[in-house]
Amino acid sequence: MTQQQKTVLITGANRGIGFAIAKSLIQQGGFQLLLAARQLKDAEGAVSLLGAGIALRLDLTDPLLLEQKALQIEHQYGPVDVLINNAAMLHSTDVPQTQAEDLLHSLSVNTVAPFVLCKVFGQLMKQRGYGRIVNLSSGWGSFSEGLEGPACYAISKAALNAVTVSCAREFMPEVKVNAVCPGWVRTRMGGEAADLSPEQGAETPVWLATLADDGPTGAFFRNKTQIDW
């Protein structure tokens, strides 16, 4: 890795928006990509398709083990300059059909795991004087838009927005921490009827991942425009 290169860790990088983010960053150049997935073979598949990157196994379903894993990644692959918390899960039930274990599972993957990664890498970024953290959220997690999504997803993404604000305050000004609603994207989660391609959904996350030093922090964006929480 050259001195100018920045190391980017992307969770859920094996498909959908995460894969499209990785592809865009490779096209821009100047990045070492750590492509993480729950199964190593999926991460290796992404590396093979992209022709670049390092495959990592990162299981977000057990956030209690994640802090140690994050420190191992930092030690093995060098300083992580950019963290993109892309991986998520969707329980599609409404409140009456939602079980407590479904909510706990959603919070583990969609909120607690990103928080742990923000905490570990954010502190290290601040110490080094540079960092960018992008949390893939959703309009379904927006109070201003009515938390209209399925209960577990809406609640966990609203909580991820709170993680974003808390971490931005803690690590500013050296580290920019922002949330993004990529829109309705044609992925396994979004479905084939969605409006946007994964490449279109990746545009704002990539912009936030490469913000200049005078860029915003602690805010929520869609189409590179700030929106209300």
What pTM does this model have?
A: 0.94
Contacts for 213 with CB less than 8 Å, ≥ 6 apart: none
Instruction: State the pLDDT at residue 194.
Output: 53
Residues 6+ apart with CB under 8 A from 82: 6, 7, 8, 9, 31, 131, 132, 133, 134, 209, 210
Residue 120 to residues 67, 74, 115, 158, Cα–Cα distance (Å)? 7, 9, 9, 21
DSSP 88-111: -------GGG--HHHHHHHHIIII
Other beta carbons less than 10 A from residue 174's beta carbon: 15
Tally of structural domains, the chain: 1
Q: Return the structure tokens found at 148.
A: 């209209």
DSSP state of 140: G
The reply to whether 62 falls in a domain is yes
> Is 155 domain-assigned?
yes
Angle at the Cα of 144 from the Cα atoms of 90 and 119, rounded to 5 degrees: 60
Q: Determine, yes or no, domain membership for 57.
A: yes
* Residue-by-residue pLDDT tens, the chain, 229 positions: 445 799 999 999 999 999 999 999 999 999 999 999 999 999 999 999 999 999 999 999 988 899 999 999 999 998 999 999 999 998 888 898 999 999 999 999 999 999 999 999 999 999 999 999 999 999 999 999 888 889 999 999 999 999 999 999 999 999 999 999 987 554 555 566 557 777 898 999 999 999 999 999 999 999 999 999 9
Output the domain CATH number for residue 172.
3.40.50.720
Q: Would you say residue 1 lies in a domain?
A: no
Q: Tell me if 164 is assigned to some domain.
A: yes
Give 57-83 as a DSSP string.
Answer: E--TT-GGGHHHHHHHHHHHH----EE
Does 13 fall in a domain?
yes
- Does any domain span residue 105? yes
58 domain-assigned: yes
Identify the pLDDT of residue 1: 43
Structural domain range at position 19: 6-227
Residues 6+ apart with CB under 8 A from 106: 89, 91, 152, 153, 155, 156
All residues at 6 or more sequence positions from 5 whose CB lies less than 8 Å from its CB, including other chains: 30, 31, 32
Which residue from 63, 76, 48 is spatially nearest to 11, judged by alpha carbons? 63
Matching residue, tokens 């057990």: 62
